[in-house]
Homo-oligomer: A and B are copies of this chain.
Amino acid sequence: MNAEILCVGTELLLGDIVNTNAAYLSRELAALGIGCYYQSVVGDNAQRLRESVSLAFSRADMVITTGGLGPTYDDITKEVVAEYFGLEMELHQPSLDHIHDIFTKIGRPCTKNNEKQAYLPKGATVLDNERGTAPGIAIEAGGKVAVMLPGPPSEMKAMFEGKVKPFLQAKTDRVLRSHTIHLFGVGESSVESQLHDAMVERTNPTIAPYAKMGEVQLRVTASAKDEAEAETLIQPVIDEITALFPDNVYGVDVENLQTALARRLFEKEMTIAIAESCTGGMIAARLTEIPGISKSLAGGVVSYSDESKMKLLGVSEDTLSAHGAVSPETALEMAKGVKEKLGVQVGLSVTGIAGPDGGTPEKPVGLCYIACVGSWGEEVSEMRLSRGMRDEREFIRNYTCLNAMNMALKLI
Decide yes or no whether A322 CB sits under 8 A from chain B.
no
Contact assessment for B113 and A189 in the assembled complex, using a CB-CB cutoff below 8 Å = yes
Within 8 A of B (CB), among A284-300: 284-285, 287-289, 291-294, 297-300
A303 to B338, CA, bound (A): 12
- Pick from A207-215, A227-235, A240-248, A404-412 the stretch touching chain B: A207-215
A161 CB, min distance to chain B CBs, angstroms? 11
Contact assessment for B101 and A188 in the assembled complex, using a CB-CB cutoff below 8 Å = no
Decide yes or no whether A304 CB sits under 8 A from chain B.
yes
Decide yes or no whether A79 CB sits under 8 A from chain B.
no
Decide yes or no whether A360 CB sits under 8 A from chain B.
no
A244 CB, min distance to chain B CBs, angstroms? 15
**A72-B188, A298-B304, A305-B298 given as contacts; is B37 within 8 A of A13 (CB)?**
yes
A357: chain B residues at CB < 8 Å are 291-292
Within 8 A of B (CB), among A140-188: 152, 154, 158, 187-188
Within 8 A of B (CB), among A368-394: 384-394
19 contacts between A and B (CB under 8 A): A12-B22, A14-B36, A15-B25, A16-B208, A16-B219, A19-B39, A38-B52, A71-B189, A280-B284, A280-B289, A291-B355, A293-B304, A294-B304, A294-B305, A298-B305, A299-B312, A301-B302, A311-B341, A312-B341
